[in-house]
A and B are shown apart, each in its own frame.
Chain A
């Protein structure tokens, strides 16, 4: 079984988005939120949250261009 065939990953892959960045963001979202819960409001968690949003915006802009 390859990593892309793991149940969670294959569910995301089949969820309707063909964009690998959005797929990665869907998988990373819960992880980022759990890290925020664990770390609290810290520079690391702030960078993680800001980075997540930056990737989302940047990928949308990239799709437009």
Chain B
């Protein structure tokens, strides 16, 4: 295990070095906006992970190459470490504004702006924001996003964007497992090629596709009427299906149907597996169409949006059919893509938390399901739903065949042997079961820590599903004051396991408990 510790420490060190580089590069934004008082905070926030990472990498530079177990533990440990170090810009800038050491010229904030920034003086709130960002969740401790310094607006955006790329790399290149969808893409008999044969070239390809889509998304939103700073931030968090906003009422602030509709393709791009994007850009549309996850994604988007629209229209939440379509379509795509942008707020129409119970549960269903494996979306993932449904049908129909019959389970144009089918079905069933168990545990925990009668059960299910599915839609429970400390800790765990699809975190905890003599 000592060898494993060295390998994990070295690789987490490399991740921290990269994080430090991202913080230091973000100082450019600080300079552009003239927030010079934030520069010392950003230098310290970047220097600490950089120094820690470099020390770890040098100390364990000769460690063994990582194996599958190491990969899981590095992912779990790495996400936790970047969340911890990524909270530093929030804490340090909040304290800089509060005490203005050495007369740095920090702004003298009042009212909601002051309380919004002051919330990050509490390290738990800052850690919550950072974990929410890196996991692409989007639940926030910010009361008024528009009041944040531009540096912190940018920091929230860039951590979601980097976290989005990170999870694609993780699921398509590093932790590809049977039933995870990624291996499915690599091993498909019907597919003409892998993305690329090596992890390094696969990661490079993911990067250029992600960057190209980011530029395109920025321009689409700007052409739809969003100011350029908003377009940059919302394109990055929308494509990463993170959902952090720079405005007080998320996308509802713009109150523009055109912007709402322009964001639909951005969120959709983020929830399609990135190997499929590669095929699409290469002109291989045939394999794009035959990909089960992509077909199901559009099917569920369509059916879910129609159902949600019907509920909010028939129940009279919205007077006009256009309004019902506008808000129903946006909120379902936002939920199932796990983005978490919100257009249904009380400032402009009817808040999500006040939608009919059936509508809230439809949105929650989308959040639990999530997008495609190999994308930035969270949730259980479509490939697992397909594996479970087809696997159950396979087992039931099996009864009607003679024992000597040789049957193959067909998933996504692959014909699996009994052993392969059993392996993938078990993997999908275990993750789905664990997902539901942690969801139930989260609901029970939140019921215990929230004031009795303050929120309905559907509100609480909605909020926990949102945290664990890395969605970020809120029924109004999450906030620096409204969510008790234990609730914040609970959500930190939900967001963490949700992003890593549970098993890597359980592996890390098992090893940790075992070494601590608790297991």
Contacts and interface: CB of A to CB of B under 8 A. Distances in A.
A17 interface: yes
Interface string A31-65: 01100110000000010011011001000101111
A58 to B, nearest CB: 12
B222 A22 contact: no
A52 B208 contact: no
Interface string B97-118: 0000000000000000000000
Given A16-B205, A16-B208, A17-B208, A64 B222 contact: no
B161 to A, nearest CB: 14
B204 interface: yes
B196 A53 contact: no
B215 A25 contact: yes
A15 B204 contact: yes
Given A33-B232, A53-B220, A63-B281, A17 B205 contact: yes
A36 B222 contact: yes
Contacts of B321: none
B223 A16 contact: no
B208 A33 contact: no
A49 B282 CA distance: 23
B232 A63 contact: no
B206 to A, nearest CB: 8
B317 to A, nearest CB: 34
A14 B203 CA distance: 12
Contact of A52 (B211, B219, B281): B219
Given A14-B204, A22-B208, A53 B219 contact: yes
B207 interface: yes
A7 B222 CA distance: 30
A5 B196 CA distance: 24
Contacts of B232: 33
B201 interface: yes
Interface residues of B, number: 23
B219 A49 contact: yes
Contacts of A56: 212, 216
A49 B216 CA distance: 9
A36 B228 CA distance: 8
Contact of B212 (A22, A36, A62, A63): A22
Given A22-B281, A60-B281, A32 B207 contact: no
Contacts of B219: 32-33, 36, 49, 52-53
B280 A26 contact: no
Q: How large is the interface on A (under 10, 10 to 19, 20 to 34, 35 or more residues)?
A: 20 to 34
Contacts of B280: 60
Residue with the highest number of chain B CB atoms closer than 10 Å, among A49, A52, A53, A56:
A49
Interface string B208-238: 1001101110111011000010001000000
Interface in B274-304: 280-283, 285
A60 B283 contact: yes
B229 to A, nearest CB: 9
A49 B220 CA distance: 8
Contacts of A60: 280-281, 283
A49 B285 CA distance: 26
Contacts of B201: 16
A37 B245 CA distance: 20
A63 B283 contact: yes
A53 to B, nearest CB: 6
B281 A49 contact: no
Given A46-B223, A63-B283, A29 B211 contact: yes
A50 B223 CA distance: 8
A60 B216 CA distance: 13
Interface string A8-35: 0000101111010010011001101100
B266 to A, nearest CB: 12
B215 A33 contact: yes
Contacts of A30: 215
Given A16-B208, A17-B205, A49-B223, A32 B283 contact: no
Contact of A29 (B196, B215, B220, B285): B215
Residue with the highest number of chain B CB atoms closer than 10 Å, among A14, A16, A46:
A16
Nearest to B280: A60
A32 B211 CA distance: 14
Nearest to A46: B223
Contacts of A25: 212, 215
Given A16-B201, A16-B204, A16-B205, A33 B212 contact: no
A33 B280 CA distance: 25
A19 B280 CA distance: 13
A36 B215 CA distance: 12
Contacts of A32: 215, 219
15 contacts: A16-B204, A16-B207, A19-B281, A22-B208, A26-B208, A26-B211, A26-B215, A29-B214, A33-B219, A46-B223, A52-B216, A53-B216, A53-B220, A60-B283, A65-B283
Interface of B: 196, 201, 204-205, 207-208, 211-212, 214-216, 218-220, 222-223, 228, 232, 280-283, 285
